[in-house]
Chain A
Amino acid sequence: MTTTTEAPAVASVPAARRLSYVKAFNEGLAQAMREDENVFVAGEDVAGYGGVFRMFDNLLDEFGPRRMIDTPISEAALVGLGVGAAARGLRPVVDLMFMDFIGVCLDQIVNQAAKMKYMFGGGLSVPLTITTASGAGLGAAAQHSQSLEAWLAHVPGLKVVMPSDAYTAKGLTVSAIRDNNPVVVMLNKVLLGSTSEVPEEIYGIPLGQAHTARHGSDVTVIALGRMVGEALAAAEELAAEGVEIEVIDPRTVQPLDTETMFASVRRTNRVLVVHEAVTFGGLGAEIAAQIQDVVFDYLDAPVLRIGAPFSPVPFSPVLEKAYVPDRARIAQGCRRLLERS
């Protein structure tokens, strides 16, 4: 991965430090809390227990119960608490544990947080960060495994980020907290233990800016979240066959940096979009449509989408493995695109 090239240059660091995705998130959050007294965390089991995914480990020790708040299991009131506190000048980080739970608080996210600035005529902002864990792969079944970014990306006023590795987990979290809009940070459950090079100092990754994770000339693969790693693995496989794919990580899916994608399509003329979410009505459809709107003349083949089948996430590991796109399907998709003249 080429992520380290974006890290601030630190001459005194002899060797790059690797950190896990969850620890990188935790470090970014802690640094953002040190940076701004107005940042606090509220959620179920975030303080005393440190979060079910250990996302909030040790934060209670440093920041105390004033800034680390265990709440009742009340997602609507939890997000509402964040909206009201944000409207009054704080920078709340509220944790929804599993993304699937947004169904019980969607009003506060969609009708309150997202629209407040607009419908109030701009008189206030809602600098709310919602953290949550998305994605399949842990055998957590249909109510604890979804990737619902398309629901949220459809709502004007929300920002949605999907960190694809430890480096982006930290940088996007810091930017989400610093941003003056409601931002949903979708952490991927399977990536929690994965490591990458992560600078020790605080840094933000600009929201709304895609990253070209690998350069290539034959096919553009636009991959969301965990699929970035799968696409890079597929790229190694294809490189052995003499095919060079370009991998674009949007990082922020709302707002979406389409310009980086268009520029890549102009070079490669073939596009595959891959996400873990259900294909139907997913972001792949939006990305494909925008590419066809703007750079249709550069395409040598129709835009191809790979996502999950139109089904809830299954439980049995053999079914779950078949459900989630992987490097083999991505490589196969690229080969199909190259077969078209």
Chain B
Amino acid sequence: MAQRASTASKKSPQVSPPVSPQVSPPVIKDLHERMVRIRLFETEAGKLMEAGKLPGFLHLYVGQEAVAAGVMTALRDDDQITSTHRGHGHAVAKGVGFRAMYSELYGRVTGACLGRGGSMHINDLTRGMLGANGIVGAGVPIAVGAAFAARYKGEDSVAVTFFGDGATNIGAWHEGANMAAILGLPVVFVCENNGYAEFTPQSAHMLITDVADRAAAYGMPSVIVDGMDAVAVHRAATEAVERARRGEGPMMIEAKTYRFFDHQGVKGLRHPYRSDEEVAEWKTRDPIDLIEARAVADGTATRAELDDVWQRTRDEIAEAIAYAESSPLPDPADLLLNVYSG
């Protein structure tokens, strides 16, 4: 995909309805299941936070599921990702287990980070998940390094770095983009443009409409996709990943998407930085509703089959939360564990 090929109108939220070409039924089902897993993981985590059960911060991904699912269905297990402070969706879609994730949110020793990392540092090296990251933009050069390692070792895995619109204003993003381009590394840059850097709308922090324009400055091709359409994201990601795997260098995907909850937590709007109407309008294009309507309409799945995915996932989540709640807390005697490697 050498040229910009937009499947979305330039201005969010007036994105076009999903008109992306067909993909195979197993891919649709895979996309759907990964999105349901993210949605339920997140909404249950939100409830736990509201109930005062979780320490720390919780940046929910709900609304953006099509991006994580669309990209991760284009990847292999040995492909690496770096994520953001809003990283649960990427972790779930990359295959990190619910038990390890909930346990980490609870600060238990059974967590993905042994209770040392929390929500913003969930990782799983066996799944190619190089970590959520509390520093905006910091994962970008790290993904470049992971891609460098793959090529150095003669492997054909690729690295994907996820970032928001706001991260493209930070130096590390630009340095990482240029470094990947100049070294011709297999990196896919995925911008989840949800329109807000924390509480500040895109119009207040950059004078361009499409973040994808920034890729051109580094000689990197880019594509803009409807970030509520998992199929469109999957197709764009597949092309970008295959391109990178062939040794043709980095590429950027800008997915226009939206977060349904607040920047942090479920509510807590001290001032209305976005209107109820805007949120409601985006919710009419809920990415899971869209793929379910599509799956039923084209005969990929029956409603009962889709409902079964929800129920199975609910059961798995209930079990994982119970596991986390009954898991031991870390021992303060082990406070210095892993400060250094042996």
Residues on A lying within 8 angstroms of B by beta carbon are: 40, 66, 69, 71-72, 74-90, 92, 104, 107-108, 111-112, 116-127, 156-157, 159, 180-181, 255
The reply on B27 being an interface residue by CB < 8 A is no
A-B contact pairs, 8 of them (CB 8 A): A40-B152, A76-B171, A80-B172, A88-B80, A90-B148, A119-B121, A122-B338, A180-B342
Q: How close is A55's CB to chain B, nearest CB, in angstroms?
A: 21
Q: Are A123 and B148 in contact (CB under 8 A)?
A: no
- Please state if A156 and B339 are interface contacts (CB–CB under 8 Å): yes
Instruction: Among A107, A111, A181, A255, point to the contact of B341 (Cβ < 8 A).
Output: A181
Chain A contacts for B112, CB-based, 8 A: 120-121
Per the bound structure, the CA–CA distance linking A53 and B107 in Å amounts to 48
B142 touches A72 (CB 8 A): no
Besides the contacts A69-B183, A84-B141, A117-B340, what 17 more A-B pairs have beta carbons closer than 8 Å? A76-B172, A78-B141, A78-B175, A84-B143, A85-B145, A88-B150, A89-B153, A90-B149, A107-B135, A108-B142, A111-B135, A112-B135, A120-B117, A122-B337, A125-B341, A126-B341, A181-B340
| Known interface pairs A121-B111, A121-B112; A157-B339 also in contact (CB < 8 Å) | yes
The 10 closest A-B pairs by CB, nearest first: A84-B145, A80-B141, A77-B175, A88-B149, A121-B113, A180-B341, A74-B175, A121-B114, A125-B341, A84-B142
A117 and B338 contacting across the interface, CB-CB below 8 Å: yes
Across the interface, A74 reaches (CB within 8 A) one of B111, B146, B179, namely B179
Minimum distance in angstroms from B224 CB to a CB of chain A: 25
Of A78, A108, A121, A255, which is in contact with the most chain B CB atoms at under 10 Å from its CB?
A121
Interface residue stretch chosen among B61-69, B123-131, B242-250: B123-131
Whether B117 and A82, one on each chain, are in contact in the complex, defined by CB atoms closer than 8 angstroms, is no
- Inter-chain CA distance A112–B121, complex, in Å, is 11
Closest to B133 in A: A112
Identify A121's interface contact among B117, B133, B176, CB under 8 A.
B117
**Residues of A close to B212: CB separation below 8 A:** none
Tell me how far the C-beta of B334 lies from the nearest C-beta in chain A, rounded to whole angstroms: 11
Interface residues of B in 146-163 (CB under 8 A from A): 146-150, 152-153, 159
List the B side residues contacting A104 at CB < 8 Å.
171
In the complex, what's the smallest C-beta–C-beta distance from B280 to chain A, in angstroms? 38
Is A85 a contact partner of B176 (Cβ separation < 8 A)? no
B144 contacts A84, C-beta separation under 8 Å: yes
A77 touching B116 by the CB < 8 A rule?
Answer: no
Partner of B148, one of A85, A108, A119, A127: A85
Which of A88, A119, A255 is B145 in contact with, Cβ under 8 Å?
A88
* Chain A residue contacts of B217, Cβ below 8 A: none
With beta carbons under 8 angstroms apart, the residue of B171, B182, B339 that contacts A118 is B339
Bound state CA distance, A82 and B148, in angstroms? 9
1/0 per position for B104-122, CB-CB distance to A under 8 A? 0000000111111100010
- Nearest residue in A to B146 (C-beta to C-beta)? A84
**Known contacts A66-B152, A69-B183, A108-B172, A77 near B144 by CB under 8 Å:** yes
Query: Contact between A83 and B340 (Cβ–Cβ < 8 Å)?
Result: no
- A76 partner residues in chain B, CB cutoff 8 A: 141, 171-172, 175-176
In the complex, are the beta carbons of A107 and B138 less than 8 A apart? Answer: yes
- Chain B: minimal CB distance from A177 (Å): 14
CB of B13 closer than 8 Å to a CB of A: no
Chain B residues contacting A127 (CB-CB under 8 Å) are: 341
Inter-chain CA distance A122–B159, complex, in Å, is: 21
Closest A residue to B171 by beta carbon equals: A76
List B residues 81-110 near A (Cβ within 8 Å). 82
Q: In the bound complex, do residue B179 and residue A108 qualify as a contact, i.e. CB atoms below 8 Å apart?
A: no
Partner of B176, one of A80, A107, A119, A181: A80
Asked if B264 CB lies within 8 Å of chain A CBs, one says no
A80-B140, A88-B80 given as contacts; is B131 within 8 A of A120 (CB)? yes
Across the two chains, which residue of chain B brings its CB closest to A110? B135
Question: How many angstroms from the CA of A104 to the CA of B112 in the assembled complex?
Answer: 31
For the complex, give the distance between the alpha carbons of A136 and B130 in Å.
Answer: 39
What residues on A are CB-neighbors of B327 within 8 Å?
none
- Which residues of chain B are near A107, meaning CB under 8 Å? 135, 138, 172
B134 proximal to A (CB < 8 A): yes
| A71, A76, A255: residue with the most chain B Cβ atoms closer than 10 Å | A76
Beta-carbon nearest neighbor of A86 in chain B: B145
Are B179 and A72 touching (Cβ within 8 A)? yes
Chain A residue numbers with a CB within 8 Å of B342 are: 180
* B114 engages A87 (CB within 8 Å): no
Chain B residue numbers with a CB within 8 Å of A87 are 125, 130, 142, 145-146, 149
Residue pair A116, B131 in contact (C-beta under 8 Å): yes
Q: Is the CB of B141 within 8 A of A108?
A: yes
Residue B300 CB within 8 A of the other chain: no
Chain A residues near B172 (CB-CB < 8 A): 76-77, 80, 107-108
Contact call A85/B113, Cβ cutoff below 8 A: no
When C-beta atoms are compared, the residue in chain B nearest to A87 turns out to be B130
Q: With an 8 A cutoff between CB atoms, is B238 at the interface?
A: no
Q: A112 to B131, alpha carbons, bound, how many Å?
A: 11
Q: Smallest CB–CB gap between B246 and chain A, Å?
A: 19
The verdict on A120 contacting B123 (CB below 8 Å), with A80-B144, A80-B176, A107-B172 known, is: yes
Contact call A90/B131, Cβ cutoff below 8 A: no
Given the interface contacts A77-B178, A80-B172, does A88 sit within 8 Å of B338 by beta carbon? no
Contact A72-B146, Cβ < 8 Å, known A77-B172, A117-B338: no
CA A203 – CA B52 in complex, angstroms? 55
In Å, the complex CA distance between A69 and B179 comes to: 11
Shortest Cβ distance from residue B190 to the other chain A in the assembled complex, whole angstroms: 16
Contact of B340 among A90, A108, A111, A157 (CB under 8 A): A157
- How distant is the Cα of A121 from the Cα of B134 in the complex, in angstroms? 15
Chain A residue numbers with a CB within 8 Å of B150 are: 88
Complex Cα distance, B132 from A121, in Å, reads 13
Most interface-central of A75, A122, A181 (chain B CB within 10 A) = A122
Distance in Å: Cβ of B244 to nearest Cβ of chain A? 15
Q: Specify which chain A residues have a CB less than 8 angstroms from the CB of B337 in the assembled complex.
A: 118, 122
A85–B150 CA distance with the chains assembled, in angstroms: 8
Query: How far apart sit A112 and B134, CA to CA, in the bound complex (Å)?
Result: 10
A81 x B144 contact (CB < 8 A): yes
| Chain A residues closer than 8 Å to B121, beta-carbon distance | 119-120
**Cα–Cα distance between A88 and B140 once the two chains are bound (Å):** 15
User: In the assembly, what is the distance between CA of A119 and CA of B80, in Å?
Assistant: 18
